[in-house]
Chain A
Amino acid sequence: MGVIALLSAVLMLVIREPMRVALALITTMVMLGGIYGLLGVHFIAAFQVLIYVGAVMVFMVYVIMLLEVREAPGHARYSRWLVPGVMACATLIAVLGISVYRSSAEVLTAPGGAPFSLTQFSTLFLSEYWLEFELTSVFLVAVIVAALAVIKVSRRAHG
């Protein structure tokens, strides 16, 4: 599953039309959801598919359809910085790979506990991490306000 995820990611970089890029991204996400499931954290997998694919990507697809972008035939696909970007990316992957490879064995083979359950997760949220919980609510309110502001700007610009 990891392979497919990786492949889709690369595809994302290559495909021209945004719609198809979106499809590739959806593929990647679903694959990741699968991986989470295989790891045993089922509820996170559920979240992944529900939130990411279900909400985010749907919104994305909707916008793409709305804007109906059509690129001119000779339109360049990539920006000027292709070569340096690829080089940097390769370097980054290399560095990360080497770090992972070199990383000490202890971290990797620490005695892992049993895969935790949803109950554990939720109680943790409400006990230790309740602050973050509340903050997310606040955060979301802020986001709503911002969105309203954007609407107002767009209305003023339009009319």
Chain B
Amino acid sequence: MPHTLALIALLPLVGFLVNGFFATALGRHRTNERTAGLIGSAFPLAAFALTIKAFFDLQAGGFAPIVEPLYRWALIGTSSFEIAFYFDRLSAIMTLVVTGVGSVIHIYSTGYMHNDKSFGRFFAYLNLFLFFMLLLVLGRSMLVLFVGWEGVGLASYLLIGFWFDDLANAKAGRKAFITNRIGDAGFLLGMFLLYRAFGTLDMDTINSAFVSGTGAALLVPASLVGLLLFVGATGKSAQIPLYVWLPDAMAGPTPVSALIHAATMVTAGVYLTARMSGIYMMAPEASQVIAVVGVLTAFFAATVALVQTDIKKVLAYSTVSQLGFMFLALGVGAYGVAIFHVVTHAFFKACLFLGAGSVIHALGGEQDIRKMGGLRHKIPLTFWTFAIATAAIAGIPGLAGFFSKDEILWYAFASAKGGAPWLWGVAALTALMTAFYMFRLLWLTFMGASRMSHEVEHHVHESPLSMTGVLMLLALLSAGGGYIAIPHFLEPQIPLPPIVESLEHYEHTLLYVSIVLAFAGLGLAVFMFGGPASRPEGIKQAMRPIHRLLSGKYFVDELYERVIVKPLAWFSDVVLLRGGDKMLLDGSLHGLASLAQRTASVVSRVQTGSLHVYALLVMVGIVGALLWSWRHV
């Protein structure tokens, strides 16, 4: 069927329009909640079905990429910009994840957002987000990708600040958008360089040119372009230094956190880098930078997650950390492995976030884990799904996270394209911390004695089926998702890096180390938090300064505020507003006006009202005219 890909992208857009016009305040809430929820979920599901079909089409064609041109957007001079869709193994995986996980999160939202006054608006925005995300992953040229890129930024802003009556939420949305834009500057510069060299932004063309090392590829400084694109990725995928928006983004409703800030949008940077792997294969310096930034981000975020007390903040920092892992993989050339981790992360992180949402829903809005505990028997479904997802992220063998994370650690150590023991060391330490803080979260939330207040405890109830059903599905995927051998699926398109020969035999050793780390983390967490409260308290007192540093998120936000935001605000106000706008522009306008006025008042003195003067001037004029006529005598 022609235009399948376009339809996949456009169906959610239709959902956005329908819900946007009928289910919102704009449409005077014509449809009721059920209809809005139905429409909102139906379109993504339809898109998912189409994606499956497209996948089978792809398979039938021997996995040759399907190119679907749509129309020509612009013709400027001799350069033409086409809108076209592209479906190959990589896009297939991404699209399946986006539509699949997206659809189930929509279904979850029908339960979670029940009785919210802006129910329709929520689904409209969520559909809009899906539309842009699909543009991003299905686009053939970087231009379409960029449209999607910006669009998901917009949707993210709208959804983070969804409950904008609270100013803090609106500010968080703004922070996300602006931080993103800073990264986009780098992205744009990279695109300009590529366009100048290639005359087109089609990613498949650019990639193959780089891989074969021919033609225009030689003109482009691959490392520079790689770094610039990575700057864009740091903004979108929350790496150092532009990760600061992600924890604040937790102000949005939990399904938003799950979909956008765990499963899909934040992985856009990873997708971009994997897609442009041709450039990175030719740019060892850029790749090295990516790997280092990735592993450092992973490490630092994990340290902060150790001491967070808000259930969603723990998960937010965990996301930043896991994204760091993905970039580590990208940096050492294991692009397929990074995508593998994207998929497994989507499963378990979405499950975790939605589970957290279920907990929050059960507790009537409480998010502080110090006020939880003992929920295990009260909301068992939520507990078990959360536990499975936690085990997955911690890397307990057999579950999805174990496979993808272990591959990343292996390649970090042994890849011939930048792997190094110290990368592995830091990453392994981070993995240990991941296990620890995730089990800490599990224990403090569900186990032990209840620290809830009485009324809250009284109202605790399991979530409706729309929510728990999704949780169960995602938990299943978290458990079994690791068996889908994605890196090998992607290999024909994106090759895995070669392994340093001398290190080959370490593979099994490292595997055991990973298992040990996972269980060590589990054990430590149980030890600390399974026993009396005095144990963690004691440690906290002993390491007070470090604890303060970590709780304060290394005070990075404060640093940015002091160093960047305040000077910028000062500059805008004093130089641009007062100096430039008021003085220069207003001043020149007023100056011109008063100049005209003064000239007029001076000149108008000629009209004295006295006839004598006029007659005198006439005479003088005549004399002058006559004298003038003498020139040619």
Contact = CB atoms under 8 A, between A and B. Distances in A.
A95 B626 contact: yes
A92 B612 contact: no
B623 A91 contact: yes
A85 B616 contact: yes
B184 to A, nearest CB: 75
Interface of A is mostly: helix
B616 A88 contact: yes
B626 A96 contact: yes
Contact of B622 (A81, A84, A85, A92): A92
Contacts of B620: 88
B626 A88 contact: no
Contacts of A81: 612-613, 616
A94 B337 CA distance: 107
B612 A89 contact: no
A89 B619 contact: yes
Contacts of B626: 92, 95-96, 99
A89 B623 CA distance: 9
Contact of B619 (A79, A80, A85, A99): A85
B623 A84 contact: no
Interface string B614-633: 00100110110011001001
B633 A95 contact: no
A50 to B, nearest CB: 29
A92 B627 contact: no
A95 B627 CA distance: 7
A136 B385 CA distance: 111
Interface string B584-624: 00000000000000000000000000001100100110110
A99 B623 CA distance: 12
A76 to B, nearest CB: 12
Contacts of B627: 95
Interface string A49-90: 000000000000000000000000000000111001100110
Given A81-B613, A99-B626, A92 B633 contact: no
Nearest to A94: B623
Interface in A94-127: 95-96, 99, 102
Contacts of A88: 616, 619-620, 623
Contacts of A89: 619
A84 B616 contact: yes
A91 B616 CA distance: 12
B630 to A, nearest CB: 8
A95 B620 CA distance: 12
Interface of A: 79-81, 84-85, 88-89, 91-92, 95-96, 99, 102
17 contacts: A80-B612, A81-B612, A81-B613, A85-B612, A85-B619, A88-B616, A88-B619, A88-B623, A89-B619, A91-B623, A92-B619, A92-B622, A92-B623, A95-B626, A95-B627, A96-B626, A99-B630
Interface of B: 612-613, 616, 619-620, 622-623, 626-627, 630, 633
Given A81-B613, A92-B619, A95-B623, 8 more contacts: A85-B612, A88-B616, A88-B620, A88-B623, A91-B623, A92-B623, A92-B626, A95-B627
Listed from nearest, the 3 A-B pairs whose CB atoms lie closest are A88-B619, A79-B612, A95-B626
